[in-house]
A and B are shown apart, each in its own frame.
Chain A
């Protein structure tokens, strides 16, 4: 009984802010203007299938870059002295304290045709580069903003690795490389998985980067959804349908990623 009283604010919150908006999206996605059931909204989503592909592709690329850039950093930090670790982790987390929009604007002034980099290289007589309004700039923005979400979960798993286990592997004859690939890396898979989900999901669903660094020429799913609700193509029903499909895609993707972690648990179940 007591438990229920404590839970009630959270229950109310979930009903009002999670369950009801979700149901509204469902309702919108499956009805027409007259309020009758229809699947035409869902069918129309396929007009944007190339945008979906582009979004997922950019998300995968930026997630992969975050992983390959973030893992070594997390690993190196986890091997330093505790005092230095604290400083480094604060430094790594610091950009998170700054507003995302502000950071992205800052990158605009750095990357644009008359921006900081181009001024600098033209000073040395190198031809100006077009960096803005390219997929590269979008990916860059995503990686810059989200790499922290890759580093932190991996780091927190790595520092929890039992020193005795590393020593045991050494004791059994494993050298540094073998210890890393046979022990450290497999044991950090849970960190990698939460890192991937924390980077991939915002990467496919944020429109700041495509809008500001992609210059509207590299439309992503989020841009399309935005257009359906607030933009020129006003059609909330189609917008809801697109959101639903996006959610389904993310759901499937996470299922695939998580299966790498659950493999072990399932194996035991079978063995038992």
Chain B
């Protein structure tokens, strides 16, 4: 059983009348890779800044290894941050940037140069020691920022969307690299991102946030397979979310039919949300389907097709490797482990219907969200 390296207890923060963090409790265990995941403005960066000491919560406690660090200023906290825009010192070269923290700690020249060289090697930057920061590419700057933070041997590393500015290919490489570094060094990582795929592929623990609250916390697999509400289901991957009724234990009714499922413990005839992932739906010929509908759009995604199917008025998203024509009537089959039941929440009916779906719409909406 690992011990808690960091605990946030009853943290609240508001700017004016806007509540940023709403009574948040979070325990982070030693040597874990924890990701705070949520849309822009969900409070994830504020949580990180509170841990780093750059923001003071209105109420609540920040415990580091059991000790309250609320009143300890950032420069005395035994943790380091990698900032979104890297925040490198442009008046210093690569070597001096990495050495900065150790120079402040008044380490000996020999010790500093040993550590810096170790970092340069680890980050594959050996040839760049004397280079100016502005002569480096984005990916190289990112690596300098990581090296600079790791050079002082922090117990906890905070990463604020560090891969946001990189292009897709580099991002993927850095994801792997970061994960390797975390496993090699055993330093606890608290990583902030709005990219669900990044969160799932890198972390041990994903903390999904919205409106300043933790919506769900757990391993990537449990977050994906057992989302606790419509927000989580929708934010992590694609989901069809339907209104349903729990007729009995292991029996659910939605889309006008009864299905066997694995969930139990609900009240009889309790209204619930049903989540069905697009990749779990099996397509069969119309006459063999439990449900049937008409294909209304087909999008080629490279290794699969994404089709929208109108099943008695509700539009489902289905991912399939078999091509279907627009206008065809197809049947679908669901196994009991494809059906996931969630309790009704404030997010019910807000997500999971692909009626107005198109990639463009999606982009527009997410941009609108960013503006808010």
Contacts and interface: CB of A to CB of B under 8 A. Distances in A.
B75 A175 contact: yes
A271 B131 contact: yes
Interface stretch (B9-17, B86-94, B332-340): B86-94
Interface string A151-179: 00000000000101101111111110010
A165 to B, nearest CB: 5
B132 interface: yes
A267 B95 CA distance: 13
A174 B101 CA distance: 8
Contact of A171 (B80, B90, B105, B132): B80
Given A164-B87, A167-B81, A187-B91, A172 B100 contact: yes
Contacts of B104: 172-174, 178, 182
A268 B87 contact: no
B289 interface: no
Contact of B152 (A165, A173, A183, A264): A173
A268 B74 contact: no
B109 to A, nearest CB: 17
Chief secondary structure at chain A's binding surface: helix
B172 interface: no
A264 to B, nearest CB: 7
Interface string A183-198: 1001101000000000
Given A171-B74, A187-B91, A268-B135, 5 more contacts: A167-B74, A173-B152, A175-B75, A186-B91, A264-B91
A272 interface: yes
B105 A271 contact: no
B85 A169 contact: no
Contact of B132 (A167, A178, A268): A268
B89 A169 contact: yes
Contacts of B259: none
B148 interface: yes
B67 interface: no
Contacts of A171: 52, 74-75, 80-81, 149
26 contacts: A162-B85, A164-B87, A167-B52, A167-B54, A167-B74, A167-B81, A167-B83, A168-B87, A170-B75, A171-B74, A171-B75, A171-B80, A171-B81, A171-B149, A172-B152, A173-B75, A173-B105, A174-B75, A174-B104, A182-B100, A189-B91, A264-B132, A267-B130, A267-B132, A268-B131, A272-B131
Contacts of A268: 93, 131-132, 135
A146 to B, nearest CB: 27
A184 to B, nearest CB: 10
Contact of A169 (B84, B90, B93, B100): B100
A165 B101 contact: no
B135 A272 contact: yes
B156 to A, nearest CB: 12
3 A-B pairs with least C-beta separation: A172-B101, A164-B87, A168-B87
Contacts of A172: 75, 80, 100-101, 104, 148-149, 152
Nearest to A166: B87
A80 B369 CA distance: 32
Interface of B: 52, 54, 73-76, 80-81, 83-85, 87-91, 93, 100-101, 104-105, 130-132, 135, 148-149, 152
Interface of A: 162, 164-165, 167-175, 178, 182-183, 186-187, 189, 264, 267-268, 271-272
Contact of A173 (B87, B88, B101, B130): B101
Which of A173, A175, A264 has its CB near the most chain B CB atoms (within 10 A)? A173
Which of A165, A172, A175, A189 has its CB near the most chain B CB atoms (within 10 A)? A172
Contact of B81 (A168, A182, A271): A168
Contacts of B76: 173
Which of A182, A187, A272 has its CB near the most chain B CB atoms (within 10 A)? A182
B80 A167 contact: no
A271 B95 CA distance: 12
A267 B84 CA distance: 28
Given A167-B74, A173-B105, A174-B104, A183 B81 contact: no
Contacts of A187: 90-91
A175 B87 CA distance: 17
B168 to A, nearest CB: 24
B142 to A, nearest CB: 14
B75 A183 contact: no
Given A172-B148, A178-B104, A165 B74 contact: no
Contacts of B130: 267, 271
B89 A183 contact: yes
Contacts of A178: 104
A165 B133 CA distance: 13
Given A164-B85, A167-B81, A178-B104, A271 B132 contact: yes
Given A167-B74, A171-B81, A162 B152 contact: no
Contact of A165 (B84, B87, B93, B132): B87
Nearest to A272: B135
Contacts of A170: 54, 73-75
Contacts of B87: 162, 164-165, 167-168
